[in-house]
Amino acid sequence: MFIYFNENKCAYHKGQLAPFFIVFIILIVIAALVTVNIGKVAKTKIYSANSVDAGALAAASTMASAFNYIAVANSQMRVNYQYFFGLASISFAWGYWKIGSAMSSASTAIAFLTAACACVPCCGHACPCPCFFPNLAAGEAALAEAIASLVDFDKTMKSLIVQVSSFYWLQYEFYKVIRENIDDYHQSALESGYSFAFNNSGISSRLKGCRLEDSSLCDACEDDCQEDCKGRCGDRDDYLIDEKDLYDECMDTCSREELNCLINNCQSHRAEYSLWLKNELDDDDPVSSQKIINYNWLDGQERSHDVSTQVVIDPVDEYVLKHTVLPFLADIALLTTAMVTANQAKGILTNAAGQASSSSPCSAEVTAAGALSFNVAALVASIAAHSGLATNGTFSSTSDSDAWPYIICWIDDVPHNQLVDVYQTQRDQGADVGVWSTEYPLITSSSRASFAGEGAIYTPSPNYDATIILTDFLSSHLLDILGEPIKDIE
């Protein structure tokens, strides 16, 4: 065309600017297409960036609540220990007093029985022995006091066995409940992360709510399918504590029935997506950390669209527990030893009292002396049991079963990186107009949120909160992994 105009430029003067206008128009069309494509890529990028931020913040907020729960529960465990140790110390002090009184009374009884025994030769020769009966009576009274003190000591040791066992079981069960609840929190955090990431990814805005050929029927169809689930299930607060699951089940069933109605009768693509997401995040099938979930759909022009999301939250599976000096069974064994030896001393003193009552002070003296060693053993065992309830060191627990030998005082720490990572890729198939086929690049976004805040497990400080600390840090390795579901569909 340019050659023709050049050869005939002297004879032809019309339309000389036409070639330039044609080229200019082509450039404008190309620029418009590029602008539209760049705008769509930018819009998708904004959706993707917002979605990973929303997912990361939602998941991190749930995890912050989880760690705040641990801190509050740990404060209660600490108070439980302090209250228990204080009461136990009072009981032990009472036991020390009683075993000390028993030893003092037994020593006094031995002294009086010794004096009475010294009077026996004189009394045997029928001479006056004013020292015999008073000393024998005083010895019998002292033996009775020692026996009574040992009975009280025995009751105290039994009471302490009950106290220690109850506290051990309380703290162990409390720890198990904490672990179970934190596992639930972790699962909820994953579900929140995926839910917010998908719902903010722009999927809903690109799906049709109704695909009936006669669009005038759509509103009526949607109105017919909508249910008043609140009216059907009532108010959650009206349910008893052990019936809250019934309300949740009722609301879930109601929403599923509504979505199925919209899908079957109104051909709602948006309802299909909502039901798909509900099934993916079903409580009966827990979501695993680092799972890649992909949603694929076709638009009205049969163009494929994909959104893949991955939420990464390390499980909370390690707890550093503060424990007592002695394990549970060892402390119970010492208390039992103190109780058994005290009962042995009581039995010996009872025999001595019987001998004294039969006017045999010499035999009673020897018998009573044998109880002193058992009294000392009972005292030592009770002191050791008391010392064994003091705090001493920590151990790492990775399951509730490995904590059973210990008497747990409180949770000293919960090692965790306190981070939530959310990754997302989006792909939109371009239009194919024959001579022109557009392909949009794979859009990637990532967001990292911390939920450390100013919180601490010990000394308990429930001040954990969520904040975004890093964005668009997606590595090429993770990009390849997240791209695989999309590649498979292609």
Instruction: List pLDDT tens digits, range 409-466.
Output: 999 999 999 999 999 988 877 666 555 566 677 888 899 999 999 999 999 999 999 9
Residue 252 confidence (pLDDT) above 50: yes
pLDDT (0 to 100) of residue 327:
94
State how far the Cα of 173 lies from the Cα of 83, in Å rounded to an integer.
17
State how far the Cα of 440 lies from the Cα of 42, in Å rounded to an integer.
11
219 or 237, greater pLDDT: 219
- Taking alpha carbons only, the member of 76, 97, 84, 30 closest to residue 175 is 76
Span 332-338, mean pLDDT?
A: 95
State how far the Cα of 445 lies from the Cα of 136, in Å rounded to an integer.
96
| DSSP for 126-174, written as a single string | T---TTHHHHHHHHHHHHHHHHHHHHHHHHHHHHHHHHHHHHHHHHHHH
- Taking alpha carbons only, the member of 481, 395, 389 closest to residue 444 is 481
Partners of 324 in the β-ladder: 391
Residue 12 confidence (pLDDT) above 80: no
Q: What are the backbone dihedrals phi and psi of residue 422, each rounded to the nearest 5 degrees, phi first?
A: -125, 125
pLDDT (0 to 100) of residue 297:
80
447 Cβ neighbours under 8 A, 6+ residues apart: 49, 52, 53, 55, 56, 421, 422, 468, 470, 471
Give Cα separations from 413 to 74, 330, 464 (angstroms).
10, 25, 14
Span 51-69, mean pLDDT?
A: 95
State how far the Cα of 119 lies from the Cα of 131, in Å rounded to an integer.
6
On average, the pLDDT of the chain sits at: 83
Cα torsion 178, 181, 183, 185: sign: negative
pLDDT band at 343 (very low <50, low <70, confident <90, very high): very high
| pTM metric for this prediction | 0.83
Least confident of 207-211, 278-282, 382-386, 472-476: 472-476
Q: How many CB atoms lie within 10 A of CB 83?
A: 11
User: Which tens digit of pLDDT belongs to each residue from 269-284?
Assistant: 888 888 888 888 876 6
State how far the Cα of 56 lies from the Cα of 61, in Å rounded to an integer.
8
178 or 241, greater pLDDT: 178
Question: What are the tokens at 150?
Answer: 């040992």
State how far the Cα of 258 lies from the Cα of 242, in Å rounded to an integer.
27
pLDDT (0 to 100) of residue 5:
53
pLDDT band at 292 (very low <50, low <70, confident <90, very high): confident
pLDDT (0 to 100) of residue 254:
87
Question: What are the tokens at 58?
Answer: 């939602």
State how far the Cα of 110 lies from the Cα of 232, in Å rounded to an integer.
84
State how far the Cα of 338 lies from the Cα of 374, in Å rounded to an integer.
9
User: Which tens digit of pLDDT belongs to each residue from 109-147?
Assistant: 888 878 777 765 555 544 445 666 677 788 788 888 989
Give Cα separations from 433 to 295, 301, 306, 418 (angstroms).
26, 12, 21, 49
User: Which tens digit of pLDDT belongs to each residue from 367-383?
Assistant: 888 888 899 999 999 99
Span 184-192, mean pLDDT?
A: 92
pLDDT (0 to 100) of residue 127:
46
Residue 306 confidence (pLDDT) above 60: yes
- Give the DSSP H/E element, type plus range, for residue 446: strand 443-450
Least confident of 15-29, 215-229, 322-336: 15-29
